Every structure is written in C-alpha cells, then in structure tokens.
Amino acid sequence: MRTTLTSVFLFSAVACAACGGGDGGRNRGGSNAGQAAQAGRPVDGARGEARDDAQDRKVEATTGWEKLGERNVDGKADRDTIAVGRAEGRFSAIQIKVEQSALEMYDVLVTFGDGTTFSPPTRLVFRNGETSRVVDLPGAKRVIKKVEFKYGNLPGGGRAQIELWGK
C-alpha cells in the first residue's frame, strides 16, 4: 500500500507550529536543551533534546506509521545513523521527513536485522517540513537494525532534524 504522510504532517505542522519532534527518548543526536526549555517544550534528559512525543503519538495513531528515530544535524558531520532494532518491530516501508531547515540527502543505507543492506536511489533536496516518497523495502516485513544517512546543508541552511518513519 502506497500512502504519504504529507497531509498528516501538514496537520501536524498547523497543530504544533513550534514542534521540536521527538521519539520518546530513542535515537537522539545533537543538543538543543536551552532553546527547548525556553520554548516550554519537554526536554529529553539523557541528551538534552526538545521533544514533542504527544504529536508523534497522534501521527502514529492516525496513520499506522511509527516514528523509528530522529537526528538533529548541523552540517558539520556529513553522516548520521539512526539505530532501530528488533524491539521496534518489522517494517515493509520507510519514509524520511526533514524539519527545521533545508537539507540535501545524498545517500540512505538500510541495514536489516540479518545484516543485509538496501540502498534506495537517493539524491533528494528537502525544504523545511518536506517528506520523502514512501520507500518500499525489499522482501517481506523485516527488522531494521539501523539506517545511515549521508547529507549536507544547503547554503543558508541551519540545523535540520531528520525523522525516520516505518510502516
């Protein structure tokens, strides 16, 4: 089944214009605790990240997509990994969303629980709030061990947040 989260994310953006995103404390990168606290958003104590778990749960409940993790990227590093793992379940598709800044994605590498990998053709430019197409994973539903991203900021871009969703 091919669906997109565009309308749900548009609703999410309207419902929570100041969202910092969140994943219940899983797989966080970077730090932005001071700004989150000033904005009145919850902060993940382990890493100091702004969270909006309630908004993510609404998206999960209404779409069937599950947020597998997120990374805040600042362009200094050109590669990040979101560890997923067996506890998250099995998935047949993924989707990527970028928030807070524009970002150019060069490559995505999905590593499954059995060690095999899949790299969908990738060279995407995301504007703030944009979501990728649905990427169907090969074979039956499978455990995703991790997803690696290679990216770069666009000129004038700032700190972006990459979200990984699975279904």
Task: Catalogue all structural domains in the chain, each as residue range(s) with its CATH number.
Answer: 6-166 (2.60.120)
How crowded is the C-beta side of 80, counted as CA atoms within 13 Å? 22
pLDDT surpassing 50 at residue 35: no
In the predicted model, what is the mean pLDDT of residues 89-104? 92
Q: How far apart are CA 50 and CA 100, in angstroms?
A: 12
Which residues are within 8 A (CB) of 144 and not within 5 positions of it... i.e. 6 or more apart?
Answer: 68, 84, 85, 88, 91, 94, 110, 111, 112, 113, 137, 166
Q: What is the pLDDT of residue 70?
A: 93
Give the per-residue pLDDT at 137.
96
Give residue-wise pLDDT tens across range 98-116.
988 888 898 999 999 999 9
Report, as an integer, the average pLDDT of 129-133.
91
Mean pLDDT calculated for residue range 123-148: 92
pLDDT band at 12 (very low <50, low <70, confident <90, very high): very low
Beta bridge partners of 103: 126, 153
